[in-house]
Amino acid sequence: MNSQEIRYFKEQLEEKLKNCSNVFILGHKSPDFDSIGSCIGLYTITSRYKKSYIIVDDEPSIIESGVKRIIDENKGKYSFIKKAEFDALKNKNSLIIIADTNKKNMICIGDEIEDFSSVMIIDHHEEDDNSIVTNDILNSVQVSSACEVTTRLLSSFKIKYSKDVANYLLAGISLDTKRFKRNTSAKTHDVAEKLIENGADIDYVNNLFLEEFESFCRISNLIINGTIIKKYSDDNLAPIQVSFTLNRNNKKAIYLKEDYAKSADKMLKFYGIDAAFALGYVDDKTIHISARSTKKVNVGKIMKEVYGGGNAQSAGGRVVSDDIDSIEEKLMNSISLGISDDIEVMDSPPIIKVKQIKKEKNR
Ligand SMILES: [Mn+2]
């Protein structure tokens, strides 16, 4: 990506910013540091011209903690909106800018992107049949990250940005280069140098990574220390698999509310579970339950029975109790409520434990 391409794109962007009614910036689903950093960097440019919004439609409880911290720290500063708010604010003169992806299936607005005449993309990923068609795309797989491109755009606009913005952009580059170990060109270092000159702080970036790692450890610890998987069906070929995650080695252990949500989410994603429940304490007396499912099980119905509510695929609940076993039992006994009538619940379903690495006896 040479300077001429950056300059050309800058001119196109400037032109579109003058003519549009408002601006919507979005990255890919399940935002990472590169996605959120480039969105914020782009917002810094576009908000000087027109009212701008950043669309993040993911449920806050399952957004990775470092990214969530960036969003939470900036709630008042940038206009973060959900897809539903976008639907209310969009019009035919809106400018849509997509960062860190070029695929329709990776963005929360999906095929609706085709309804807009002004769509611009800043990316560093391969294009394919699912890519959004637009002339205004600044994309090269040679480039480290969307944040690298965004930083170059900021320089070409000669826009001064805050230390915070510099931090987020550096975090994005740091993530996608695995700390400057891959996809790193002289230009990447050049851009990083500019960010550091603008106040980016390596300690802040390292802390963001550390926070993500600590969250990963807590969630793994919760899952490994006591997830059981039950199968429900009268047809052994395709049983419905439901997981129950609870720290069985320390039932009084306290986790963050989002740890339960993320645990349930990970069970669906990595274990191919149809419905996942995670429960445990959020303080010394309150039990929190998070429930996630695919289309086969209505967890909202189940949670309505068990101290909570929600929709078919995402629900939760809270109860003050010192008897977590009975809460889990009630949950297990209510499963049939969320499973369609043509599937029977087996009398004594087999239980599988998520594998736990055995502790070495001799050290
Ligand atoms: Mn990226």
CA–centroid distance, 111 to ligand 1, in Å, is: 21
Q: Of the candidates 156, 177, 212, which is a domain's last residue?
A: 212
CA–centroid distance, 180 to ligand 1, in Å, is: 13
Residue 182 and residue 47 share a domain: yes
Q: Both tokens of residue 77?
A: 């500063």
CA–centroid distance, 146 to ligand 1, in Å, is: 5
Kindly state whether residue 53 falls inside one of the protein's structural domains.
Answer: yes
Residue 192 main-chain phi, psi, to 5 deg: -60, -40
Residue 99 and residue 16 share a domain: yes
Residue 61: predicted pLDDT: 84
CA–centroid distance, 21 to ligand 1, in Å, is: 28
Residue 202 and residue 130 share a domain: yes
For 179, the 3-state DSSP assignment is coil
Residue 363: predicted pLDDT: 44
User: Long-range CB contacts (< 8 A, 24+ apart) of 183-191?
Assistant: 183/143, 183/144, 183/145, 184/144, 185/142, 185/143, 185/144, 187/1, 187/143, 187/148, 187/152, 188/143, 188/144, 188/148, 191/148, 191/151, 191/152
- Asked if residues 77 and 103 have their Cβ atoms less than 8 Å apart, the reply is no
Write down the residue that tokens 């949500």 correspond to. Answer: 261
Round to whole Å and give the CA distance between 56 and 62.
12
Residue 278 and residue 142 share a domain: no
Residue 336: predicted pLDDT: 80
Q: Of the candidates 212, 235, 255, which is a domain's last residue?
A: 212
- pTM metric for this prediction: 0.83
Low-confidence ranges of the chain (pLDDT < 50): 347-348, 360-363
CA–centroid distance, 175 to ligand 1, in Å, is: 8
Q: What is the span of the domain harbouring residue 332?
A: 226-353
CA–centroid distance, 144 to ligand 1, in Å, is: 8
Contact partners, residue 247, CB within 8 Å, separation at least 6:
221, 222, 225, 226, 253, 255, 280
CA–centroid distance, 35 to ligand 1, in Å, is: 6
CA–centroid distance, 188 to ligand 1, in Å, is: 13
Kindly state whether residue 92 falls inside one of the protein's structural domains.
Answer: yes
CA–centroid distance, 283 to ligand 1, in Å, is: 37
Write down the residue that tokens 């109860």 correspond to. Answer: 319
What is the separation of C-alpha 274 from the centre of its chain, rounded to a whole number of angstroms? 20
- Asked if residues 152 and 45 have their Cβ atoms less than 8 Å apart, the reply is no
Residue 344: predicted pLDDT: 53
CA–centroid distance, 157 to ligand 1, in Å, is: 22
Residue 272 and residue 307 share a domain: yes
Residue 21: predicted pLDDT: 97
| Strand-pair partners of 227 | 245
Kindly state whether residue 173 falls inside one of the protein's structural domains.
Answer: yes
Round to whole Å and give the CA distance between 151 and 6.
11
CA–centroid distance, 100 to ligand 1, in Å, is: 5
Round to whole Å and give the CA distance between 291 and 324.
16
Other C-beta atoms closer than 10 Å to the C-beta of 11 total: 11
Instruction: Please report which helix (H) or strand (E) contains residue 341, including its range.
Output: none
Residue 286 main-chain phi, psi, to 5 deg: -100, 125
Query: Smallest Cα–Cα separation from 230: which of 348, 356, 355, 357?
Result: 348
What is the separation of C-alpha 320 from the centre of its chain, rounded to a whole number of angstroms? 30
Domain count for the chain, please give it: 2
Residue 234: predicted pLDDT: 56
Residue 259 and residue 188 share a domain: no
Task: Dump the DSSP string for 101-116.
Answer: --BGGGSTTGGGGGG-
